[in-house]
Chain A
Amino acid sequence: MDFFKELFSGFTYIATGDNWKTIVMWIIGGVLIFLAIKKKMEPTLLLPMGLGAILVNLPLANEGIVSPHGSITTLFNAGIANELFPLLLFIGIGAMIDFGPLLSNPKLMIFGAAAQFGIFFTMSLAALLGFELKDAGSIAIIGAADGPTAIAVSQALGSNFTGAIMVAAYSYMALVPIIQPPVIKLCTTKKERMIRMPYRPANVSKLTRILFPIVVTIIVGIFAPKSAELIGFLMFGNLIRECGVLDNLSETAQNALANIITIFLGISISARLTAAEFLKLDTLMILALGLFAFIFDTFGGIMIAKVMNLFLKEKINPMIGASGISAFPMSARVVHKIGLEEDNQNFLLPHTIGVNVSGQIASVIAGGLILGMLS
Chain B
Amino acid sequence: MTTKITTTAIEEISEATEEITTETVEVVGVETFPPENDQVENMVYTLPMMGKGMFGIFLVTVIIVASVAILNKVTGGKKNG
Contact = CB atoms under 8 A, between A and B. Distances in A.
Given A128-B39, A211-B71, A212-B71, A224 B64 contact: no
A370 B63 CA distance: 19
A142 interface: no
A128 B59 CA distance: 28
A129 B77 contact: no
B75 A205 contact: yes
Q: Which secondary structure dominates where chain B touches chain A?
A: helix
B67 interface: yes
A116 interface: yes
A322 interface: no
A365 B56 contact: yes
B47 interface: yes
Nearest to A116: B57
A215 B60 CA distance: 12
Contacts of A106: 64-65, 68-69, 72
A202 B59 contact: no
Interface in A173-211: 198, 200-205, 207-208, 211
B30 interface: no
B80 A203 contact: yes
B34 A133 contact: yes
Contacts of A200: 79-81
Interface of A is mostly: helix
B58 to A, nearest CB: 5
Interface in B1-51: 34, 39-40, 42-43, 45-47, 49-50
A316 interface: no
A150 B71 CA distance: 31
B65 A120 contact: no
A361 interface: yes
B77 A203 contact: yes
A123 interface: yes
Contacts of A133: 34, 42, 45-46
Contact of B50 (A123, A204, A365): A123
Given A127-B46, A205-B75, A117 B61 contact: no
Interface in A115-148: 116-117, 119-121, 123-125, 127-130, 133, 136
B78 A362 contact: no
B75 A366 contact: no
B43 A127 contact: yes
Given A113-B58, A365-B60, A119 B65 contact: no
Nearest to A372: B56
Interface of A: 102-104, 106-107, 109-110, 112-114, 116-117, 119-121, 123-125, 127-130, 133, 136, 198, 200-205, 207-208, 211-212, 215-216, 219-220, 223-224, 358, 361-362, 365-366, 369-370, 373
Given A116-B54, A203-B79, 5 more contacts: A125-B43, A200-B81, A202-B77, A203-B78, A216-B64
Top 5 A-B pairs, shortest CB-CB distance: A128-B43, A120-B50, A106-B68, A127-B42, A113-B61
